[in-house]
Amino acid sequence: MQQVLFTVPIFEGTFPPDGIPVYGFGAMLFVTFVTVVLWGSYRAKKIGMEPTKFQDFAIWVFVSGLIGARVLYMIQYANQFPQNSIGDILGSFFRIWEGGIVFYGSALGGAIGYGLFYWFVMRRFKVHVSGWQLADAVAPLLALGLAIGRIGCYLNGCCWGQVANEEACVVPLGAAHFPMLPAHARPQLVGEKLLQTSTGFSLEPRTGEDPRSVVAAVEKDSPADRAGVRKGDRITKVNGESAIAASVSGPPDAVQAVFDKVQEKDNGGGKLITRANGETRVVFDDLPSYFLARAAARTVPDATFVGVERLDEIAREWPRGKALLSLQVERAKSETETEFVNLSFAPKTVGLYPTQLYESLSMILLILVLLAFYPLRRHDGQLMVVLMLGYAAHRFTNESLRIEPSYGGGLTLSQWASVIVVVAAVAMELYLWRTMPSRWKGEPQYVPLPAGETGPSRSDATTAAARPPEPKA
């Protein structure tokens, strides 16, 4: 997992701390588009389509497919998008890197994009290319896009698989242990499935007046254990930020009065910070400063001053691409002395099936099948049928290794979509078998006109116009 491949060291103030991040997921989308356009231009030229027209076609399908993929994801995981306003929903729509998109949505969106391209471009500019020939030219490109795109999913840590027990059985390609804090799987593994903690250790319940967290237990052989985290450690700093903090609640005037008081040097010299959700916290350098501020806050009527646990807050608002957790802990050195110890480590998820890589390998194999079958196809359009059947079979199987909600019959949304795709592919093949000329029998095939020519299409067997025969009665 490598959510951020590197950063461009410009606009460091606007994109803290290092500059503009280049995300692995976005980079793979870019590589996918460039690769598909280059190979697709070559394949399109072979069927009589100008490379420039294919590049226009690729943009239409790519953008519409991306829109469809995002829309279907937001429908499937509507619980992750509780916003009600149009502005918030649109804002969430563009945050694709927060995990994600659904391929079957992109297939539907791409089909709509193709239809729009055909209506507004191919008809207008008289692009004489058979739609079924174009489908066969595009089929391997779709598999290639999936192969590269799923590498982006792996780098992003989305589309993860179920927990893999490596001690019980061999996991193909090895289980994936993603950096825990930026991993998209963390809410499920920690909050829903209760399979692990966010950091490799648990905390004691809050008691007493000290707001700092105390380590209750450390997972054996975890990165935290290897880094030296011990039971009883009291956390004083998290990633260089003080763990001694407080929240203030009450009427706005009372809250502001407390903020003004506790920032005074004689009342603790606290610093105000704003969380990602808009809440304001007061952070203090040491425990005596916190106690001074608490005493000052009690002089303001109607205001409530409460110590808060900073580790959990910082973990929940963890920045993308950052894996390393740095702690400063206060530890008993002897019965009468304590010491401060600095620790750094990267918490890891439990092993998960690398379903993203399974799909990449499966699609590479499917590309080889499609290329080998291309000269053997009976009729135009058959390569697209093979792609639909091959991907549906893969997705149905691969989906059983992922943690996805089911929708009737114990199948996930993508498994039901796979069933629909298989039915559509069979129906398409039956239609094409009846309506398209057979290459096996040497029947005349549709050949597009050279660029600039008008009139009926030519046949590779005769100069007379040759169109697909009508369905037999």
**Domain positions in the chain:** 4-165+353-438, 197-345
- pLDDT above 90 (res 381): yes
Residue 72 — pLDDT band, cuts 50, 70, 90? confident
Residue 450 — pLDDT band, cuts 50, 70, 90? low
Residues 182-202 pLDDT 10s: 998 998 899 888 899 999 999
Which pLDDT score, from 0 to 100, does residue 463 have? Answer: 35
Which pLDDT score, from 0 to 100, does residue 462 have? Answer: 35
Q: Rounded mean pLDDT of 18-29?
A: 85
Which pLDDT score, from 0 to 100, does residue 329 have? Answer: 95
Residue 341 — pLDDT band, cuts 50, 70, 90? very high
Which pLDDT score, from 0 to 100, does residue 219 have? Answer: 94
Which pLDDT score, from 0 to 100, does residue 100 have? Answer: 65
Provide the mean pLDDT of the chain: 86
Task: Give the N- to C-terminal CA distance of the chain in Å, as an integer.
Answer: 57
- pLDDT above 60 (res 451): no
**φ/ψ (deg, to 5) at 97:** -65, -15
Cα–Cα distance for residue pair 305/258, rounded to 1 Å: 8
**φ/ψ (deg, to 5) at 435:** -110, -20
**Closest listed residue to residue 451, CA positions, set 131, 51, 86:** 51
Q: Which residues contact 40 (CB under 8 A, 6 or more apart)?
A: 54, 58, 137, 138, 141
**Closest listed residue to residue 139, CA positions, set 434, 374, 396, 308:** 374
- pLDDT above 60 (res 425): yes
Specify whether the CB–CB gap between 384 and 111 falls below 8 A. no
- pLDDT above 80 (res 7): yes
Query: Who has greater pLDDT, 314 or 78?
Result: 314
Residues 30-61 pLDDT 10s: 999 999 999 999 999 998 888 888 988 888 88
Residue type, position 406, single letter: S
Buried b (16+ CB within 10 A) or exposed e, 326-363: ebbbbbeeeeeeeeebebebbbbbbbbbbbbbbbbebb
Which pLDDT score, from 0 to 100, does residue 470 have? Answer: 43
Which pLDDT score, from 0 to 100, does residue 449 have? Answer: 55
Specify whether the CB–CB gap between 382 and 428 falls below 8 A. no
- pLDDT above 70 (res 243): yes
Cα–Cα distance for residue pair 64/303, rounded to 1 Å: 52
Q: Poorest-confidence range of 129-143, 323-337, 438-452, 458-472?
A: 458-472
Cα–Cα distance for residue pair 272/284, rounded to 1 Å: 9
Residue 334 — pLDDT band, cuts 50, 70, 90? confident
Which pLDDT score, from 0 to 100, does residue 455 have? Answer: 47
**φ/ψ (deg, to 5) at 130:** -65, 135
Specify whether the CB–CB gap between 450 and 48 falls below 8 A. yes
Q: Left (φ > 0), alpha (ψ -120 to 50) or beta: where does 323 sit? A: alpha
Which pLDDT score, from 0 to 100, does residue 171 have? Answer: 92
- pLDDT above 50 (res 439): yes
Provide the β-strand partners of residue 307.
246
- pLDDT above 50 (res 456): no
Q: Rounded mean pLDDT of 129-157?
A: 92
Q: Poorest-confidence range of 117-121, 301-305, 349-353?
A: 117-121
pTM of the model: 0.83
Query: Who has greater pLDDT, 153 or 12?
Result: 153
**Closest listed residue to residue 315, CA positions, set 182, 179, 214, 225:** 182
Q: How many CA atoms lie within 13 A of 172 on its CB side?
A: 11
Q: In 10 A of CB 454, how many CB atoms?
A: 7
